Amino acid sequence: MKKVLIVFGTRPEAIKMAPLVKEFEKYPVDFDTRVCVTAQHREMLDQVLRFFDINPQYDLDLMKPGQDLYGLTAAIITELKPVLENFKPDYVFVHGDTTTTMASSIAGFYSGAKVCHIEAGLRTHNKYAPFPEEINRQITGRVTDYHFAPTNASRENLLKENIDTKTIIVTGNTVIDALLQSVEKVKQEPSDLVKQLDNDLSGADLLLVTGHRRENHGDGFIRICEALKTIALERPSVQIVYPVHLNPKVLEPVNRILGDIKNIKLIEPLAYHDFIWMMDRAKIIITDSGGVQEEAPSLGKPVLVMRETTERPEAVEAGTVILVGTDTDKIIQETFALLDDDTHFKEMSSRHNPYGDGKACGRIVEFMKELELVKNFK
């Protein structure tokens, strides 16, 4: 039996790793699977853990007010040390591009475990966009032993960095596994909040907005808010719902510019299951999130991405997302095009999602089982 430690710390990581935890747990004879959370995000992380019924064996509980990247990185490496020394995992699984991912991969490497990177190979090739995620990904890639790439384009990125082709496995993205497993459950068991939101919307076209990226703080968020204000005022029949990130650099401009507009509803960040419902209910999604770019096309939702570049170019090429950056005029123009041109909307909403079929976790665990068989045979 091999020991597997799955480490994550933020809500997006938890969502994408939850179905993998469940898949590994199907094979208790083959794998002793344990979960360690850093709690880089505390409350939002816990919501996801409850929804997927995951009880971590290790909880580092590292979130602190005003925590910066220096302190967080050091704390993750230091606090993971006794976990790694106690459990002695053969494999440490990390996901994506967070500070938890980067620091945990280094700690796993120090411990002698094999590092396995879920959602490997995404690149913008601009170390400041997104910051610090692009460099987190690249550092993780250098210490990774097995790279689980969501797409062929991600695989090609890794090959260009001289990663051994035998260590790269194209799986699709685990976020699609999580989404497809969750959406029907959410429809059947709507929360009280969802029922109230549905009543408030009264059949209006819903524009769902999310925004939190560091590179958009300051003038970027001001331009975004001015665009949303114009859209709301010129299309009074549209309802914009914006679950606002708790970072003060987001809260201040959003509340100041959008707080008094009748058809803009500013709400607290949503629990995962409520957010899934909102995505499914939305007509258009306007976001700077990476995960939403992958999820929304599976629900047939056009996505406008408020970033200058994306590490998910497959979505741009497939036509399921449009990059609008923080350009006020472009955000307005592309939103109106989708609202006013039914043909354009239908074409974009019906395009194939390049990020998978919901079977990524099965492919990952099957690879690990076969890997162990090969090792035992040798």
260 as an active site residue: the answer is: no
Phi, psi torsion values for 59, nearest 5 degrees: -130, 105
Report d(CA 239, CA 136) in Å as an integer.
36
Active-site choice (13, 133, 314, 334):
133
- Asked if residue 309 lies in contact with residue 216, where contact means CB atoms within 8 angstroms, the answer is no
In this predicted model, what pLDDT tens digit does every residue of 236-285 receive, in sequence order?
999 999 999 878 888 899 999 999 999 999 999 888 889 999 999 999 99
Q: Does 273 participate in catalysis according to the annotation?
A: no
For the stretch 331-353, pLDDT in tens is 999 999 999 999 999 999 999 88
Cβ atoms of residues 183 and 157 within 8 Å: no
The span from the CA of 67 to the CA of 148, in Å, is: 30
Answer yes or no: is pLDDT of 374 > 80: no
Q: Residue 96 pLDDT more than 70? A: yes
Q: Which CATH superfamily is domain 2-172+359-377 in?
A: Glycogen Phosphorylase B; (3.40.50.2000)
Whether the bond between 132 and the residue before it is cis, its omega within 30 degrees of 0, is yes
Look up 133 and say whether it is catalytic: yes
The top-level CATH class assigned to 180-349 is: alpha beta
235 has catalytic annotation: no
Report the percentage of the chain scoring pLDDT > 90.
Answer: 75
Tokens 């409520």 correspond to 274
Rounded to 5 degrees, φ, ψ at 83 are -65, -45
Task: Work out the angle at residue 86's Cα, subtended by the Cα atoms of residues 80 and 92, and round it to the nearest 5 degrees.
Answer: 55
The full set of domain ranges for the chain reads 2-172+359-377, 180-349
Does the active-site annotation cover 245?
A: yes
* pLDDT score, position 378: 47
Side-chain-side CA neighbours of residue 93 (13 Å): 25
Which residue is catalytic, options 41, 42, 137, 212?
Answer: 212
CB 1 within 8 A of CB 30: yes
Beta strands in the chain (DSSP E): 2-8, 31-37, 58-59, 91-95, 114-118, 146-149, 168-170, 205-210, 238-243, 264-267, 284-287, 303-305, 321-323
Within this chain, domains 2-172+359-377 and 180-349 share the same CATH topology: yes
Spell out a b/e string for 295-314, using b for 16 or more CB atoms within 10 Å of the CB, else e: bbbbbebbbbbbbbbbbbbb
Highest mean pLDDT among 8-12, 37-41, 156-160: 156-160
For residue 133, give the H/E element and its range. Answer: helix 133-143
Q: Which of 97, 177, 226, 334 is catalytic?
A: 97
Does the pLDDT at position 200 exceed 90? no
Catalytic residue among 42, 214, 235, 307: 214
Contact call for residues 315 and 355 (beta carbons, < 8 A): yes
Average pLDDT, the chain: 93
Angle at 117 between CA 352 and CA 313, to 5 degrees: 35
The answer to whether 226 is a known catalytic residue is: no
Neighbours of 110 (CB within 10 A): 13
Q: Which of 13, 119, 294, 311 is catalytic?
A: 119
CA 138: distance to chain centroid? 17
